[in-house]
Amino acid sequence: MRGKPNIALRILAVAGIVVVAYAIILCISASHLLGTVESLSAKATTCQQQMDEGNITEAVTSLRNMAKDCESLKSEADMPQWQIASVLPVIGDDVRCARGLATIGDSLSNDALIPVLKEADDLGILDQENIDALNGLIGSVGQDVTGTGNGTGSSSDAQKLNDSLTLIGTLVTMFTEKSADVDELMASLTKARTVLDECRHIADTLPESHFEQLKKAASQVKTFLDDADDTLDGIEAFIAEVNSGISSLFSGVSAAPAA
């Protein structure tokens, strides 16, 4: 009769060791996971600033680094300890939140922003000088480009005329010789919009996390999605304005600014 209680105690002892070991593994993994989330948040902030400042090459690099963090986050959240935790009360929400953030970051970087930004930058669409020059050129359509009305403008007026002709040549080239690249960009924009909508749906359905790092990241990702939306709007507006501007330049009728 004494053997049975000893067996039961041994089973309980082994079970206790397993639980303690699992808790330790989970805590260590949680530290790695939350550290990756903090790194992802920092890179997202940097990327937002770079896009706002027009530093597209640096923004693309940041997006690639974000995608790497998302891959690490997903790999961590898919490990066995988190597979178990995902079905547990309370902490299961944290696991699902982390996985959702990883999915959003990876899709937004690799499937939406990186292709669009690279293609737009190659075409010069994200060059603020081109945007400002185009706006000024369209606004001056129908006016005397020499500024005097008698064809004897100043050297600065002549420079403006030269700059305008250079810009016209660039834009015409963009939509003739590089028309295939423009079509590719438009296809990437269409895909990016779909990806953005999918990411926004995931963001809106993320469960409430119990960790501050995940809470901050979940809030930040919604702002980042809005900024990405604005970036896509700006590229589409520039393309529309170029189309309208070229037509107006050759017709002599001033085009209405793109929304």
Per-residue pLDDT at 144? 41
Collect all residues with Cβ–Cβ distance below 8 Å to 111 and sequence separation of at least 6: 191, 192, 195
Q: Supply the pLDDT for residue 86.
A: 79
HEC secondary structure over the chain: CCHHHHHHHHHHHHHHHHHHHHHHHHHHHHHHHHHHHHHHHHHHHHHHHHHHHCCHHHHHHHHHHHHHHHHHHHHHHCCHHHHHHCCCCCHHHHHHHHHHHHHHHHHHHHHHHHHHHHHHHHHCCCCHHHHHHHHHHHHCCCCCCCCCCCCCCCHHHHHHHHHHHHHHHHHHHHCCCCHHHHHHHHHHHHHHHHHHHHHHHHHHCCCCCCCHHHHHHHHHHHHHHHHHHHHHHHHHHHHHHHHHHHHHHHHCCCCCCCC
pLDDT of residue 195: 95
Rounded distance, CA 103 to CA 84, Å?
20
Phi, psi (5° rounding) for residue 148? -120, -25
Q: Tell me the C-alpha to C-alpha distance, in Å, between residue 235 and each of 91, 206, 240.
A: 41, 29, 9
Q: Cα Rg for the chain, rounded, in angstroms?
A: 28
Which pLDDT score is estimated for 173? 65
Residue for token pair 């699992």: 22
Mean pLDDT by 10 residues, the chain (259 residues): 60 59 64 86 88 83 90 85 78 88 92 90 70 57 40 53 62 68 89 94 91 88 89 83 62 48
Its pTM surpasses 0.75: no
Closest C-alpha to 221, from 102, 84, 127: 102
